[in-house]
Amino acid sequence: MDETRLLLCTDMDRTIIPNGLQPEHPQARKWFAEFCSQPQVTLVYVTGRHQKLVKEAIKNYHLPYPHYAITDVGTRIYRIVDQQWQPLQEWSDEIAKDWHGKNHQQLKQLFADIPELQLQESGKQNSHKLSYYVAQHVQHDDLLLMMKERLEAQKVEASLVWSMDEPKAIGLLDVLPRNATKLHAIHFLRQQLNYSLDDVLFAGDSGNDLHVLSSAIPSVLVANATRDIREMAQTQSQQHNTQPSLYLASGKNTPMNGNYTAGVLEGISYFLPAFRPLLTKMGAYCEE
């Protein structure tokens, strides 16, 4: 166990924050916090939230404080020491290259005539993140294609990240530098900290996690994810030939239900069996 270490990268909303419709196991968050307190574990929150909302979530849901935070859907990385947030300028410099001199305001003007796009609040924007609300009924595939064509005409290398806010029943659309994704940010941090792929685990639940879930990074999809997301994650993993790197939490080999933090702990026990004695001692793992 002393030689085992883990870079634990997890989404927040509906992954470790139990703000979905499915029930949370009453002990899961406590066990998750206990696990993350181990010296072998480096905890990273990977979220669409901005810094203020991450801090609010940590306080309101009694979550463990992370060592790093990848925020704003991958456009910011912070190193956190004694609860002091230190932005990694190297990451900002890296992703700035993709927009080839275009700024946030210029890209906003590029889409100003599209009535289906409603700008999100100013606190949800930053220099490398242009974010919109889109009504649920809109054919978002056609919308994304039109936006992609406009970006390419301006020689802007961008990622268009679509997800759903299920409780509010509205679409969320982020325009980001091509490499400003959760996947690229995790790889960047992994390399900065000198972790191998086998020492990394990602946990997620939604559409903006799919690039990581279907990558070579060992990943767990928590059980409370929707059926559509489960099917998409499996399909994309097959397309990328990365099926061994994806685990679907279900409650197997645990006294829990696989939802939220219970699913994260289940994924840890699956990919990193060296941690099973610790999880067993906590009560979060049991052999068949």
pLDDT digits over 266-285, tens only? 999 999 999 999 999 999 99
User: What is the distance between the alpha carbons of residues 23 and 20, in angstroms, rounded to a whole number?
Assistant: 8
Residue 1: band (very low, low, confident or very high) from pLDDT cuts 50, 70, 90:
very low
C-alpha dihedral sign at 246, 250, 251, 256: positive
Residue 207: band (very low, low, confident or very high) from pLDDT cuts 50, 70, 90:
confident
Q: Quote the CATH superfamily of domain 6-92+180-282.
A: HAD superfamily/HAD-like (3.40.50.1000)
Tokens 């696989």 label which residue? 258
Class of domain 100-177: alpha beta
Residue 288: band (very low, low, confident or very high) from pLDDT cuts 50, 70, 90:
low
**Percent of the chain that is helix, strand, coil (3-state, to 5):** 40, 20, 35
Lowest mean pLDDT among 101-115, 135-149, 161-175, 177-191: 161-175
> Which segments of the chain belong to CATH 3.40.50.1000?
6-92+180-282
User: What is the distance between the alpha carbons of residues 153 and 75, in angstroms, rounded to a whole number?
Assistant: 23
Residue 264: band (very low, low, confident or very high) from pLDDT cuts 50, 70, 90:
very high
- Give the amino acid at 82: D
Residue 119 pairs in a beta bridge with 132
Q: In the β-sheet with 130-135, what is the strand arrangement from edge to edge?
A: 118-119, 130-135, 170-177, 158-165
Answer whether 0.85 is exceeded by the pTM.
yes
User: What is the distance between the alpha carbons of residues 57 and 211, in angstroms, rounded to a whole number?
Assistant: 24
Residue 165: band (very low, low, confident or very high) from pLDDT cuts 50, 70, 90:
confident
What mean pLDDT is predicted for residues 63-87? 95
Annotate 141-182 with DSSP letters as a single string: HHHHHHHHHHHHHTT--EEEEEEEETTTTEEEEEEEETT-SH
pLDDT at 2 over 70: no
Q: Do residues 46 and 86 lie in contact, with contact meaning Cβ atoms separated by under 8 Å?
A: no
pLDDT at 118 over 90: yes
Residue 287: band (very low, low, confident or very high) from pLDDT cuts 50, 70, 90:
confident
> Which segments of the chain belong to CATH 3.90.1070.10?
100-177
Q: Which helix (H) or strand (E) holds 210?
A: helix 210-213
